[in-house]
Amino acid sequence: MGTVISQVTTVDVELRINATTRQLALDPRTTLLDALREHLDLTGTKKGCDHGQCGACTVHVNGRRVLSCLTLAVAAQGKDITTIEGVADGDQLHPMQQAFLDHDGFQCGYCTSGQIMSALALLREPCGASDDEVRECMSGNLCRCGAYSNIIAAIQDVRATHAHEA
Amino acid sequence: MLSQAVLAGASGQVRNMATTAGNLLQRTRCFYFRDTATPCNKREPGSGCSALDGYNRIHAVLGTSAHCIATHPSDMAVALVALDARVRVVGPAGERVVSLGALHRLPGDRPDRETTLEPGELIIAVDVPPLAFASRSLYLKVRDRASFAFALASAAVAVDVRDGTVRDARIALGGVGTKPWRAAGAEEALRGRRAGRDAYRAAADAALAGAVPRAHNAFKIELAKRTLVRALLRLESR
Amino acid sequence: MTSPNEPRTTGAVGAPINRVDGRLKVTGAARYSAEIPVDDLAYGVIVQSTIARGTIDRIDAGEAEQLPGVIAVMTPRNAPKLESLQKFEREGSKGSRPTGRALSLLQNDSVHYNGQPIALVIAESIEVAMHAASLVRTTYRVDQPTIDMATALPSAYPSTEKIYGREPPATQRGDLQAGLAAADVRLDVVYTTPMETHNPMEMHATIAAWDGDKLTLWDATQNVHGVRGTIAKTLSIPPEQVRVISHFIGGAFGGKGSAWSHVVLAALAAREVRRPVKLVLTRRQMFGPVGGRPHTVQHVTLGAARDGTLTALRHDSTSSTSTIEEWVEAATLATRILYDCPNEETSHRLVRLNVGTPTFMRAPGEASGMFALESALDELSYELRMDPIALRLKNYAEADPESGKPWSSKSLRQCYALGAERFGWARRTAEPRSMRDGDQLVGLGMATATYPVRRMPASADACIYPDGRAVIKAGSHDLGTGTYTILTQLAADALGIPLGCIRVELGDTDLPQNPISAGSMTVASTGSAVHLAAMAAREKLIQLAVTDPRSPLHVAQHGAVEIAGGRLTLHGDVDRGESIEELLARNGGQPIEGRADAKPGDETQVYSMHAFGSIFAELRVDPDLGTVRVGRLVGAYAAGRILNPKTARSQLMGGITFGMGMALMEHTITDLRSGRYVNADIAEYHIPVHADVPGIEVFFVDEHDEHVDPIGAKGLGEIGMTGVAAAIANAVFHATGVRVRDLPITLDKLL
Ligand SMILES: Cc1cc2nc3c(=O)[nH]c(=O)nc-3n(C[C@H](O)[C@H](O)[C@H](O)COP(=O)(O)OP(=O)(O)OC[C@H]3O[C@@H](n4cnc5c(N)ncnc54)[C@H](O)[C@@H]3O)c2cc1C
Ligand code: SF4
Ligand code: FES
Ligand code: FES
């Protein structure tokens, strides 16, 4: 098993993530998710399926929540990308993060970044006020630990006090 | 109806990313189609259909062939086909208009050919003609969990009832057909009848008249009928 | 086990504090195994078999190897031969298997299930590795596999090994036939549960890096010391040369308790290519190669007198295992202890299928077994026209009916009462289909919950530093279970040091040895060790103070010294004392260390130890469409001392949610011809989503148990899962009059 030294074709990609511009040379097939996790050491965004089925990879692109596993990095150029690492203001947690902490809206924490990114987007989406409506709007974010009830409590807490300022 | 169908599909994040054309033309969720290690006529023409005698609980009962029984997964397309929508297509030969009912093909012996689009043709717009009674319409989706799951059965219905008599109806079914399924027979069965459970059940029977079940999906025939009846009853009570 | 200086203040323990690792998790800063920055990483992708049984005829990696960026392709043709396995084979498979589980390490050409690892591609990037993996071409000599549990059932054979090395595979007490003959009412039914897959949100992941002959594994495991042992034995290297690290785990549920094939393959690959290798399974690869819950077919026979007294109870469970390893789903263990029935028989049998070897999955045995037992009790309650709770109380076991031992504590009666009250059980009308909400059928159902208290040896270090801070070290794990948090609380109280001044280190074989974090054992095992280690450090600190002539506490009665808020004071005279910093600064500025090796005592000889609870479900069934929507799930539990009500509630809610998935949707489907895992993703393997999960309410019954362990806590990781499937099935029957004995309860079964 000899080591093959070889060249992989790459393209130059420029991404604006959390208000910082990053230059990368990437395999054109690289998803935004893998660009974040494997090339930029922004591992807060999680991979739970790689196929749009779990929501763990949710990030904001131009303010809308999307799945980074279904987004090619090259296609995310020229857009504003926000990941979980860009949510807190320095040491000051965003109220949504604080609410997740206070309501124990997670256990293993692996779905948490995606849940929080979805929850933040919800503050700007036309989602109804009831718990059931929030549950429906959050249904693209799976949590195998079963922290759902606490997540809804956290979101409703924030929505009650911070709507429209995400 | 259309907005209900759109919102019934996938999740918030997926919907934020999806395009209308992409949704109409999305590929089937047939397990075997997506698992490249198994034979599939749609993926690899002539290799065989693993679903026919495999696990086919999610598969279609309408429009199937001996070569493919894959369900068309779109919710939106079901509403659009009920509304007589048309897609505008541009290609090397210029622009043309295709009715939604004619956009998807039945699998027949070529399940790999899913649409009537020619190579190089792109959908550029979807036109939904005005329907006088569109305000009396709804989309009902039945699935294995409360959200973020494909339809086992769904119904898009619009009904024009005057003085208790059905004047006109638009009915399409999802989750049960190899393409977004316009149930013309059901519409026919309703026209001129007194609105009510009996007429709805007759329409449902007509809609599923040609259904062919396989080992695990026979329940879909009854489920689809009940879904349609429920949708019509719910419309009536609005 | 009370020491003379048992802390008098109980500040931190029992308080609903936020998770100490919470901030890392809500900011995305917590690093899971695949996220450790390691230089010069190569990426591994596993290639899986596409047949269920047979032999690899040809495996052609030529095209894959030619792909730019591919470093190597490991196949059975070129993979390094493992001496440990060859020895095991030579010795006729006697002795213990070096790999623990039967793994697929490319040592031979045989294929035993569809999806078995048969090759590993190592490349410069994930993209290249994935592409190359798709280019490996394999041809097989195919043998007829056995896939279908139903048709293979006649081949079932009795399990003979002790379950978990401890419990007999079969039991018998009294005279079953006599009990049946004496019964007024008999029930003889079969329940089945399907294969299920853990599907933690984090896929299994390993980074393997060699430094000379030393191996470091960042592995998504709930068992660092176990993985170390397995890897060392398999690679024939001393355990000291293997370090396993697992700081954060994205859910485990039992599936991450063993070192599966990919862990060893990552280590082998890293050694071959002389670079660190990262190997993350795909979601599809989580179905088969890393275990799951097996299929069970459970035969339950009940006999009862008119007044509800059980006269006979038989529970025979047959579960599927693989063709390469025996693994028993211990479905009847709960049956043995739950009801006071004089005539009882239980047994476990196995059927060999060409599937991946099953393994522990949240409440292994109890989850599936109690679906059967607690459904059967419900069926009996209708036969007897008796309230389901009254029936259970009628057969309440005041002592362990199997062993005759007294319970270390049991508060099940209170759990029934509290659960029933909070749920509003009294409004239930007994008749099926008798309750409605508009056109929806309403169903109310309940079941008992129970899970044994188990404990294993565990060690911990507690170190108090001259700056007044403390560090607790234990090679245990936090799977989302709250281990970091509750250990901090235990240490804070034992040491008298504020929560914020304590750091807990977990998940590293460089830390004191701890058992697998499973079976709800962590609190009892590691919690006890940490408590005792912290108490030992506390002792030393006090000893130092009372023997230090310059300390205000000099010659004070040892037992009269208290520590709180980082200060040592004399009991009753808070002004006489000093801070830990002052004391240590005067005494050479050296840290104080306490060490404890905790292990179970003879309490298991004397007592039967279990946690108990009750679970209630309210749901609505659409009479036409068969859809089930759960509206409320209410559980009441007694599990000894609750160290942190906030994280404890979360554990129980999580278990209940998992149980709801089991009841209504979870089902790993295999193609009966090819053995292919059909729904091997999380769009088609349904787990509950937000919209499915109602308000879940969890209540605790106060329980004081001084026998279970030094901290009086019983563990909560699995009990929440037990009974849920039955409570939901019972509620579905109450709503519809349809008894579903075959999980999951999908709508087609209710049409
Ligand atoms: C987990 C999951 C669950 C989902 N659940 C549902 C559901 O319940 N209901 C539902 O309806 N959908 C569901 N979807 C499907 C989702 O809505 C589709 O992924 C989406 O609609 C596809 O849109 P897209 O724009 O990404 O299409 P793409 O993936 O980009 O395209 C799909 C196909 O359409 C072709 N195409 C795209 N645009 C054009 C065009 N302009 N002209 C010609 N051809 C074109 C592409 O070549 C491709 O073959 C789900 C998806 C996922 C991942
Ligand atoms: S049903 Fe169609 S898509 Fe599915 S395996 Fe058969 S041919 Fe392929
Ligand atoms: S990783 Fe993107 S949705 Fe699961
Ligand atoms: S917290 Fe573990 S998956 Fe949600």
ipTM of the complex: 0.97
Burial of A9 (0-12, 13-18, 19+ CB in 10 A): exposed
Task: Indicate whether residue A138 lines ligand 4 (CB < 6 A).
Answer: no
Our answer on whether the CB atom of B69 is closer than 6 Å to any ligand 2 atom is yes
Whether residue A108 contacts residue A145, with contact meaning beta carbons closer than 8 Å, is answered with yes
| Residue C718 annotated in active site | yes
Per-residue model confidence as pLDDT tens digits over A63-77? 999 999 999 999 999
SS3 of C699, please?
strand
* Whether the Cβ atoms of residue C580 and residue C567 lie closer than 8 Å to each other: yes
A3-17, B185-199, C76-90, range with the lowest pLDDT: A3-17
Q: What pLDDT, in 10s, does the model give residues B161-181?
A: 999 999 999 999 999 999 999
User: C445 near C432, Cβ under 8 Å?
Assistant: no
Residues 6+ apart with CB under 8 A from C425: C389, C419, C444, C446, C616
Residue B134 has what pLDDT?
87
pLDDT of residue C6: 43
Residues 82-111 in A contacting B (C-alpha not used; CB under 8 Å): none
Q: How far is C683 from chain B (nearest CA, A)?
A: 7
Domain count, chain B: 1
The pLDDT value recorded for residue C75 is 98
Percent of chain A with pLDDT over 90: 91
Residue C428 above 80 pLDDT? yes
Mean pLDDT of chain C: 96
Residue type, C589: G
Q: Is B37 on the interface with A (CB under 8 A)?
A: no
C136 Cα to chain B: minimum distance (Å): 12
pLDDT of amino acid C7: 43
* CATH for B55: 3.30.390.50
Average pLDDT value for residue range C512-540: 94
pLDDT of residue C249: 98
Q: What is the spatial distance between Cα A97 and Cα A78, in angstroms, rounded to a whole number?
A: 28
Q: Position of tokens 């270390």?
A: C408
The alpha-carbon gap from C107 to the nearest alpha carbon of chain B, in Å, equals 23
**Sorting pLDDT into bands at 50, 70 and 90, what band is C720?**
very high
pLDDT mean across residues, chain B: 96
Q: Is the CB of A75 under 6 A from ligand 3?
A: no
Chain A partners within 8 Å of C655 (Cβ): 146
pLDDT of C1 over the 60 cut: no
Pairing of strands B165-174, C214-219: unpaired
Q: Which CATH superfamily is domain A11-86 in?
A: Beta-grasp domain (3.10.20.30)
Tokens of C73: 């392709």
Q: Is A155 in the pocket of ligand 3 (CB under 6 A)?
A: no
Q: How far is the CA of A95 from the centre of ligand 4 (A)?
A: 20
CA angle C152, C157, C161 (to 5 degrees): 135
The pairing of beta strand C117-123 with beta strand C42-48? antiparallel
C-chain CB neighbours of A1 within 8 Å are 72-74, 78, 272-273
What pLDDT, on the 0 to 100 scale, is given for residue C715? 87
Q: What is the pLDDT of residues C252-309, one digit of tens each?
A: 999 999 999 999 999 999 999 999 999 999 999 999 999 999 999 999 999 999 999 9
Q: pLDDT, tens digit, for every residue of C575-622?
A: 899 999 999 999 999 999 999 999 999 998 999 999 999 999 999 999
CA of C430 to the centre of ligand 4 (A): 38
Are C26 and A41 in contact (CB < 8 Å)? no
Residue C202: Cβ within 10 Å count:
28
Q: Tell whether C688 is within 8 A of chain B (Cβ).
A: yes
B195 pocket-lining for ligand 2 (C-beta < 6 Å)? no
CATH architecture of the domain covering C404-454+605-749: 2-Layer Sandwich (3.30)
Q: Contacts of residue C139 in chain B, CB cutoff 8 Å? A: none
The domain locations on chain A are: 11-86, 95-165
Q: Angle, to 10 degrees, between the axis of helix C645-664 and the axis of helix C366-384?
A: 70
* Same fold: C22-30+456-599 with C404-454+605-749: yes
> What are the residue ranges spanned by the domains of chain C?
22-30+456-599, 404-454+605-749
Which strands, in side-by-side order, build the sheet including B137-142? Answer: B137-142, B153-162, B165-174, B181-182
Q: What is the pTM of this model?
A: 0.97
Report residue B4: phi and psi, to 5°: -65, -40
Quote the percentage of chain C above a pLDDT of 70. 99
The mean pLDDT value for B139-153 works out to 97
Please indicate whether, in this complex, the C-beta atoms of B38 and C671 are within 8 angstroms of each other.
yes
Q: In what order do the strands lie in the sheet with C502-505?
A: C502-505, C470-473, C458-464, C592-598
- pLDDT digits 0-9 by tens, C658-696: 999 999 999 999 999 999 999 999 999 999 999 999 889
- The range of the structural domain enclosing residue B111 comes to 1-238
pLDDT-based confidence at C2, cuts 50/70/90? very low
Regions of chain A short of the pLDDT cut 70? 1-7, 163-166
Atom number in ligand 4 closest to CA A145: 2
Residue C9 has pLDDT above 80, yes or no: no
Options 1.10.150.120, 1.10.760.10, 2.60.200.30, 1.10.238.10; CATH for A95-165 is 1.10.150.120
pLDDT at C393 over 50: yes
Share of chain C above pLDDT 90, in %: 94
Question: A139, B16: Cβ pair inside 8 Å?
Answer: no
Angle at B23 between CA B22 and CA B28, to 5 degrees: 100
Report how far residue B137's alpha carbon sits from residue B159's, in angstroms, rounded to the nearest whole number: 7
Q: How far apart are the first and last CA of chain C?
A: 58
Residue B10 forms contact with A (CB below 8 Å): yes
Give the one of C22, C131, C198 whose C-beta lies nearest to A101's C-beta. C22
CATH of the structural domain C22-30+456-599, one choice from 3.40.50.300, 3.40.30.160, 3.40.50.150, 3.30.365.10: 3.30.365.10
